[in-house]
Amino acid sequence: MKLYSYWRSTTSFRVRAALNIKDIPHEIVPVNLVEGEQRAAPYLALNPIGGVPTLVLDDGTVLTQSMAILDWLDAAGFLPRLMPEDPIARARVLGAAFVIACDIHPVNNLKVLNYLKERLGHSQDEAVAWMRHWMHEGFTAFNELIEPGARFCFNDEAPDVADLCLAGQMINARRWGLDLAPFPRLVEIDERLRKIPAIAQAMPEAQPDAM
């Protein structure tokens, strides 16, 4: 498999971590979002929205969107599972994960920030305030949705997709100076996740295109 990824992309991080946890051999193909490589014709042929990650399977099948890729990895039978088999438990895990994947990330990604600054004339400080606002609001909800007292977001045994979404978003929270004091439980879970080798190896600083 080939994973088209950008080192600082938290959506790429989710899939990098999942592939590592499931011990699936893969090649990382860097896509430099800052230099606009995602808008080049060859890449758009793979991923028309021009985002990362993109997973190309060994038979040439192309999968896009991190949450869809994570769903496929479980559905295809790669173990360990990252989503519960029980329908209610699965819906609860995904409900929390989607707070980050659907509510926080879409308004905090690079193309939105560039639009705020380049097209709407907002300053860097205003863009950072925008990001912090949505992260704080999303983390507040996420904190209420996860399982109280569990070692990870929903269980004591192993991370699931909600944990991968949290670990990725915590990277950006620290990068942009979000006050994490209101979220001690999330900080505790994140610290636990970072000690797992498969997740540590998916972190931005461990990537071949890290700068």
User: Quick one: pLDDT at residue 111?
Assistant: 86
Q: Where along the chain do its domains lie? A: 2-80, 87-199
The 10s digit of each residue's pLDDT in 44-70 is 999 999 999 999 999 999 999 999 999
Specify the residue for token string 């173990």.
79
Please give the model's pTM, rounded to 2 decimal places: 0.96
Could you name the CATH architecture of 2-80? 3-Layer(aba) Sandwich (3.40)
Has residue 84 got a pLDDT over 90? Answer: yes
Which CATH topology does 87-199 take?
Glutathione S-transferase Yfyf (Class Pi); Chain A, domain 2 (1.20.1050)
Q: Residue 110's pLDDT is what?
A: 83
Which pairing describes strands 54-56 and 62-64: parallel, antiparallel, or unpaired? antiparallel
The percent of residues in the chain predicted with pLDDT above 90, rounded, is: 96
Given phi > 0 = left and psi -120 to 50 = alpha, else beta, which region is 77?
left
Segment 159-199, tens digit of pLDDT: 999 999 999 999 999 999 999 999 999 999 999 999 999 99
What pLDDT, on a 0 to 100 scale, did the predictor assign at position 211? 87
Same CATH topology for 2-80 and 87-199: the answer is: no
Rounded Cα distance between 54 and 96, Å, is 23
User: What pLDDT is recorded for position 109?
Assistant: 86
Question: For 8-29, what is the mean pLDDT?
Answer: 98
- The overall average pLDDT reported for the chain is 97
pLDDT tens figures, 92-110: 999 999 999 999 999 998 8
